[in-house]
């Protein structure tokens, strides 16, 4: 199934900004919003969205500001959660749905966590992929070491080789899956190819030294049914954090995915089946 390319505008102090998203459907029931990781984009969810939409769901995969087809922001400092949440709220309003289900990887999972913690949240079911309310400093230092580098590649094959190295923790992917991720991670320019995001998203890492992040106060406010996916080798979502997530706040269900670190790509059939089964359960607690 081929998704429709759509856009919605959200307001910044400098004016309106375009937020791009893909829509699979039409399908019935609550829309499912898929939100990607820090340097990724909506096309990461093609396999998952295709499977969910084939089963009758309306699926929306969003490009965060500065990624994919979404507009770059005027200031690097604006790549921050208050702006992201405002943009995502505009997207939810565009869908004309009182409730949505949320699947978020890393950055997208944190955004879902923050939205789900708000009073009268529209999020009915939440899936967070390899992220939680505690993020260790060491993992953020690792991400800061590569995010925002202005790399150029002579060919798509060179970009794919770099992606296979940096994103090896995504798990054991097929050659076709790596090619898919590489193709949608690339933008052609006069010098070859660059990665499909604004390097200025790294400004937060440069201006504020990495430190442990503690969002347990938000986690404890969440009441909707929640599924936590954890790469068994993850350095970002520690096992002890994931286990605490099952007894605090929404008392999430935890599924560990072998052979993955940060973060499972959600392209494997068993991962897709786990997500589909959770989304297919009864409504809110």
Residue 6 to residue 4: CA distance in whole angstroms: 6
Q: Is residue 202 part of a domain?
A: no
Cα torsion 266, 153, 149, 86: sign = negative
Both 185 and 229 in a single domain? no
Residue 211 to residue 233: CA distance in whole angstroms: 21
- The predicted model gives 170-184 an average pLDDT of 97
Helix axes 175-185, 156-166, angle to 10 degrees: 110
CATH assignment at residue 261: 3.40.50.1820
Task: Choose one of 196, 229, 255: the last residue of a domain.
Answer: 196
Both 76 and 156 in a single domain? no
Both 68 and 184 in a single domain? no
- The predicted model gives 64-92 an average pLDDT of 97
Q: Is residue 39 part of a domain?
A: yes
Both 170 and 223 in a single domain? no
Both 46 and 164 in a single domain? no
Least confident window among 37-41, 102-106, 178-182, 186-190: 186-190
Both 71 and 133 in a single domain? yes
Both 178 and 219 in a single domain? no
Both 187 and 111 in a single domain? no
- The predicted model gives 108-112 an average pLDDT of 98
Both 92 and 183 in a single domain? no
- The predicted model gives 158-182 an average pLDDT of 97
Specify the DSSP element, H or E, that contains 216. helix 216-219
Instruction: Decide if pLDDT at 189 tops 60.
Output: yes
Ramachandran sector of residue 11 (left: φ over 0; alpha: ψ -120 to 50; beta: rest): beta
Instruction: Decide if pLDDT at 280 tops 80.
Output: yes
Confidence of residue 285 (pLDDT cuts 50, 70, 90): very low
Domain enclosing residue 170, as ranges: 149-196
Both 8 and 70 in a single domain? yes
Q: Is residue 285 part of a domain?
A: no
Q: Is residue 204 part of a domain?
A: no
Confidence of residue 283 (pLDDT cuts 50, 70, 90): low
Residue 172 to residue 159: CA distance in whole angstroms: 18
pLDDT digits (tens, 9 = 90+) for 210-265: 899 999 999 999 999 999 999 999 999 999 999 999 999 999 999 999 999 999 99
Both 226 and 262 in a single domain? yes
What is the total count of domains within the chain?
2
pTM over 0.85: yes
Instruction: Decide if pLDDT at 284 tops 80.
Output: no
Collapse the DSSP code of 206 into the 3-class scheme (helix H, G, I; strand E, B; otherwise coil) and give the result. Answer: helix
Both 215 and 190 in a single domain? no
Q: Is residue 203 part of a domain?
A: no
What is the structure's pLDDT at 90? 97
């Amino acid at each position: 199934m081929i998704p429709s390319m759509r856009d919605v505008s959200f307001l910044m102090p400098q004016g309106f900004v375009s937020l791009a998203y893909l829509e699979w459907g039409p399908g019935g029931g609550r829309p499912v919003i898929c939100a990607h990781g820090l340097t990724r984009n909506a096309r990461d969810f093609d396999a998952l969205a295709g499977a969910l939409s084939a089963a009758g769901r309306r699926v929306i995969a969003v490009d965060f500001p500065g990624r994919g087809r979404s507009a770059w922001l005027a200031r690097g400092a604006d790549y921050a959660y208050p702006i992201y949440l405002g943009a995502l709220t505009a997207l939810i309003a565009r869908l004309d749905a009182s409730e949505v289900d949320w699947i978020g990887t890393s950055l997208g999972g944190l955004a879902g966590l923050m939205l789900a913690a708000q009073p009268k949240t529209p999020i009915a079911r939440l899936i967070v992929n390899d992220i939680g309310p505690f993020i260790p400093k060491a993992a953020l230092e690792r991400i800061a070491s590569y995010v925002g580098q202005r790399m150029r590649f002579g060919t798509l094959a060179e970009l794919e080789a770099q992606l296979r190295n940096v994103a090896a923790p995504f798990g054991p992917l097929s050659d076709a899956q790596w090619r898919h991720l590489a193709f949608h991670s690339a933008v052609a320019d006069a010098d070859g190819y660059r990665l499909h995001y604004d390097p200025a998203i790294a400004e937060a890492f440069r201006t504020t030294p990495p430190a442990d992040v503690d969002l347990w106060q938000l986690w404890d406010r969440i009441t909707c049914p929640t599924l936590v996916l954890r790469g068994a080798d993850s350095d970002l979502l520690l096992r002890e954090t994931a286990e605490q997530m099952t007894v605090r706040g929404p008392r999430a269900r935890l599924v560990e995915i072998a052979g993955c670190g940060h973060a499972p790509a959600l392209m494997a059939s068993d991962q897709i089946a786990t997500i589909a089964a959770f989304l297919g359960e009864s409504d809110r607690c």
